[in-house]
A and B are shown apart, each in its own frame.
Chain A
């Protein structure tokens, strides 16, 4: 998969070509759940970026050791280990951030996008491409969450990053889960339209959960 693909190409792939949320349509539930505000989306994105990269690197290093028949439990356990480590380190040394993010960190264990990258990419590639893929996918997820967060918080609460901008709440439904799906569908459609119109892409999203 990585043969002949440049580092930059791999990196870009996670952000645009195979964006976890808008293109692969993976991890939609957390993407809807946390993006009622930009800040939550951003913090979640940063946590995922960390775990994603660490898991990809570990899986890639252990790819010849992990028995193929029990690879999924192994991947989940590796993810859970890094999530626990980050949770504990942040709880001890980054109290202020932990108070904001503590709610989300443990959820990352069950993210489809992390498991799918371990299975689809890191288990078949060497250290460096896996690292780049992890960073790219993590940034892609971060980008998607921020975009959704800006859209939903601005329309739903009339604010951005917690600072009030509009005196009213134009579309309260946007911060509800229902609005999250609307926002996600609109974004996906818009990005596909852009892709087709300006970059000549096929604009297809593959299904997921």
Chain B
């Protein structure tokens, strides 16, 4: 009985002290961390539409994979230059967070990966420019993941098929959303051009 009490006390004491150490660390590092994350987010948004002169405004909220995300509008002198959505796609071992921007003519401008927990060395290759640049200038219908060489569609990174699929799915959802929100006025015009 006495032995048991000793065991419990020794464990509890360690847990309390360790908890306090972690708590104090959190107290001092969390504000710095959140400020840095907020700043990074703003900078990432700015990168998606560098020519926008007005501050990028949040235009609304939406859900993907039952998690909340936002979409934004970048304007220059009141005229829209880009629509941006934050989203995530399910990769191999995590949700790959990203920003997707489309131009007013509903073509993809840019895709930027914000964070993920994919396999280092394999899945994280979807961050490579060579993969992401494939999305630039594509329309919604062209966003199809294929294995092997392609110019029309998106080529999966070899060894990272699941992660590639996650990114592609995320981009597709985001573009679909932005077209639903902003495409009504110009969709017909874009289809005319496509013909």
Contacts and interface: CB of A to CB of B under 8 A. Distances in A.
Interface of A: 33-34, 36-37, 40, 62, 65-67, 69-70, 73-74, 77-78, 80-81, 84-85, 88-89, 91-93, 95, 99, 103-104, 172, 175-176
B36 interface: yes
Contacts of B15: 77
A33 B22 CA distance: 28
B30 interface: yes
7 nearest CB pairs, A to B: A36-B121, A92-B29, A92-B32, A81-B18, A92-B33, A67-B10, A88-B29
Contacts of A91: 29, 33
A91 B119 CA distance: 20
A77 B14 contact: yes
Say whether chain A's binding surface is mostly helix, strand, loop, or mixed.
helix
Say whether chain B's binding surface is mostly helix, strand, loop, or mixed.
helix
Interface in B1-46: 3, 6-7, 10-11, 13-15, 18, 21-22, 25-26, 29-30, 32-33, 36, 40
B50 interface: no
A190 to B, nearest CB: 22
A84 B22 CA distance: 7
22 contacts: A33-B119, A34-B120, A36-B121, A36-B122, A70-B7, A70-B11, A74-B14, A77-B15, A78-B14, A81-B21, A85-B22, A88-B29, A88-B33, A89-B29, A91-B29, A91-B33, A92-B29, A92-B30, A92-B32, A104-B120, A175-B159, A176-B122
Contacts of B133: none
Nearest to A36: B121
B117 interface: yes
Interface centre among A67, A80, A99 (most CB of B within 10 A): A67
Interface in B24-78: 25-26, 29-30, 32-33, 36, 40
Given A78-B18, A104-B120, A69 B7 contact: yes
Contacts of B115: 99
B120 A36 contact: yes
Nearest to B22: A84
Interface residues of B, number: 27
A8 to B, nearest CB: 32
Contacts of B36: 92, 95
B7 A67 contact: yes
A114 B74 CA distance: 50
B11 A103 contact: no
Contacts of B120: 33-34, 36-37, 40, 103-104
Contacts of A74: 10-11, 14
Given A37-B120, A95-B40, A67 B29 contact: no
Nearest to B121: A36
